[in-house]
Amino acid sequence: MDRSLVILGVVTFCVCASAGDTHATSGEEGILQLNTDNFSRALRENRQLLVHFFIPMTADVHKVSEIFQEAAAQLQGSEIKFAVVDAVKEKDLAKELNATEPPFIRLYLSGDKHNPVHCPVPKTSSSILTWLKRRQGSPVDLMTDTVQIDSDLLVLGFFKELNDAYIQVFYEAAVDLPDLTFALTKNEDVVSKYGLVNDDVVVVLKKSRLMQAYRMRPEVSKEELLLFITVFQMDPVTEYSGQTASQILSSPILNHALLFISKTSPDFETIYAAFNRTAAAFRLKILFVLVNVDESRNGRLLEYFRVRDFEAPLIRIVNLTNHPKMQSEPVPDDWDQTPVKQLVGSTLERVAFHPNKTVFVLFYLPYSSESRAVFPLWEELAEAFKDQEDIVIARMDASANDINMSMLRQYPSLCLFPALYSEREDESRRKYMETVRREEEAKKPKQNKLEL
């Protein structure tokens, strides 16, 4: 699974369910609706074609589509033509253009379909406008002698000799971060009050407070500078919410430390302060995120990271470049002692695919009331069948164990695994036997030792 999918998976909880056909209103002034048949013509006819490949029903498509339309309205009559492609309906076209993955807004220049310029994911329509403007502009536009330092967030480059190479890198970063204000100066007075006079530096200022200074070195790349700016424009710890989700998920820092905690718990202040201190020490390496488990809208996130609210406070370190692994809770000691057997990822297959037993499993989410509502019924059922050896009533926490069964999308979910009886040699049975064999084998050396 690549990162974009992980991202979609996590943010879908804040989906506008009303996404529908966001671009369908073909009355959108001046926006071309393109498909396989007429994309090439549009490309030929427009030297600058800004295309939004949208995937209906995805997390943020509604918002981005609106932003895109606003930008198009504001640039009507300019030489930049706006167009949309439904990447699902026109999936052959999207595939041919390699536009099946983000970024989904791309600028095609001079009819070249192979080398579009990628537009950063816009926060507002002015993100798009600023991006287009900075692309065509030059560092001179950022030059100033009297900087309005009191803007909310300012990225200021101070270069003594107006070093060309540094300015170039600085400007490229400004193009890629259209939501931030950038300024460029060689006036020492502007930075001297921060004690920065003798160096080429880039500083991040928040309400005129110095967040951090970055000393330029000859080998500094745009990526390094982007990393510095995007990290230090954020606080050391960011609370996860609908507003911060995209900032967190688009951060170039891929290692995240997530603190799941109840903000109303008595030790919140102490834990948060410690977390904040640690965060400051790992600024460019790990992104520190606080997840309030009291917030019901974070349910999906808890589910995604397989955290139950009663486990909080708890810290999860995740690496977003990695695949989510098949995960299992440890097998509870008494898992088969209670009437309802408690299954986990590593025992599910072994128990459910037992050839001689019929197994009925309740897959549940511990924090969902719909799930919990089934528990009494399940106890009753287990009680009723407790003397029948060939019937097993079981349950499994679907939030804490990965389940390799694509049919399970909604919880609670009930699955019946009928006994297969010995003759039927099928895939499940083969797997089951293999598991048993492996276990037997694993036991052998141990037994030998005991016998000695």
Burial class of residue 143, CB neighbours in 10 A (0-12, 13-18, 19+): middle
Q: With respect to ligand NAG, which residue has the nearer C-beta, 292 or 371?
A: 292
Q: With contacts defined by CB under 6 A, name the span among 13-21, 136-144, 314-322, 337-345 that binds ligand NAG.
A: 314-322
What's the chain look like in SS3? Answer: CCHHHHHHHHHHHHCCCCCCCCCCCCCCCCEEECCCCCHHHHHHHCCEEEEEEECCCCCCHHHHHHHHHHHHHHCCCCCEEEEEEECCCCHHHHHHCCCCCCCCEEEEECCCCCCCEECCCCCCHHHHHHHHHHHHCCHHHHECCCCCCCCCEEEEEECCCCCHHHHHHHHHHHHHCCCCEEEEECCHHHHHCCCCCCCCEEEEEECCEEEEEEECCCCCCHHHHHHHHHHHCCCCEEECCCCCHHHHHCCCCCEEEEEEECCCCCCHHHHHHHHHHHHHHCCCCCEEEEEECCCHHHHHHHHHCCCCHHHCCEEEEEECCCCCCCCCCCCCCCCCCCCCEEECHHHHHHHHCCCCCEEEEEEECCCCHHHHCCHHHHHHHHHHCCCCCCEEEEEEECCCCCCCCCCCCCCCEEEEECCCCCCCCCHHHHHHHHHHHHHHHHHHHHHHHHHC
Among 1, 326, 384, 408, which residue sits at the site for ligand NAG (rule: CB under 6 A)?
326
Among 255, 262, 346, 368, which residue sits at the site for ligand NAG (rule: CB under 6 A)?
255
Question: Minimum CB separation from ligand NAG for residue 402, in Å?
Answer: 8
Question: Minimum CB separation from ligand NAG for residue 189, in Å?
Answer: 27
Among 76, 78, 98, 148, which residue sits at the site for ligand NAG (rule: CB under 6 A)?
98
Q: With contacts defined by CB under 6 A, name the span among 129-137, 226-234, 320-328, 373-381 that binds ligand NAG.
A: 320-328
Among 250, 319, 388, 410, which residue sits at the site for ligand NAG (rule: CB under 6 A)?
319
Q: Which tokens sit at 402? A: 């990965």
Q: With respect to ligand NAG, which residue has the nearer C-beta, 127 or 238?
A: 238
Q: Which tokens sit at 227? A: 């990393």
Question: Minimum CB separation from ligand NAG for residue 166, in Å?
Answer: 27
Q: With respect to ligand NAG, which residue has the nearer C-beta, 197 or 273?
A: 273
Q: Is 422 in the site for ligand NAG (CB under 6 A)?
A: yes
Question: Minimum CB separation from ligand NAG for residue 34, in Å?
Answer: 6
Q: With respect to ligand NAG, which residue has the nearer C-beta, 7 or 183?
A: 7
Q: With contacts defined by CB under 6 A, name the span among 6-14, 92-100, 141-149, 307-315 that binds ligand NAG.
A: 92-100
Question: Minimum CB separation from ligand NAG for residue 441, in Å?
Answer: 16
Among 18, 114, 219, 444, which residue sits at the site for ligand NAG (rule: CB under 6 A)?
114
Q: With respect to ligand NAG, which residue has the nearer C-beta, 296 or 321?
A: 321
Site residue total, ligand NAG (CB under 6 A): 26
Per the listing, tokens 């406070």 go with 313
Instruction: List residues bridging with 425 in a β-sheet.
Output: none
Question: Minimum CB separation from ligand NAG for residue 283, in Å?
Answer: 9
For the segment 259-298, give every residue that binds ligand NAG (CB under 6 A): 273, 276, 280
For the segment 227-246, give every residue that binds ligand NAG (CB under 6 A): 236
For the segment 24-43, give every residue that binds ligand NAG (CB under 6 A): 32-35, 37-38, 42
Site string for ligand NAG, 348-377 (x = CB under 6 A): -------xx---------------------
Q: What is the contact surface with ligand NAG in residues (CB under 6 A)?
A: 32-35, 37-38, 42, 96-98, 113-114, 236, 254-255, 273, 276, 280, 319, 321-322, 326, 355-356, 404, 422
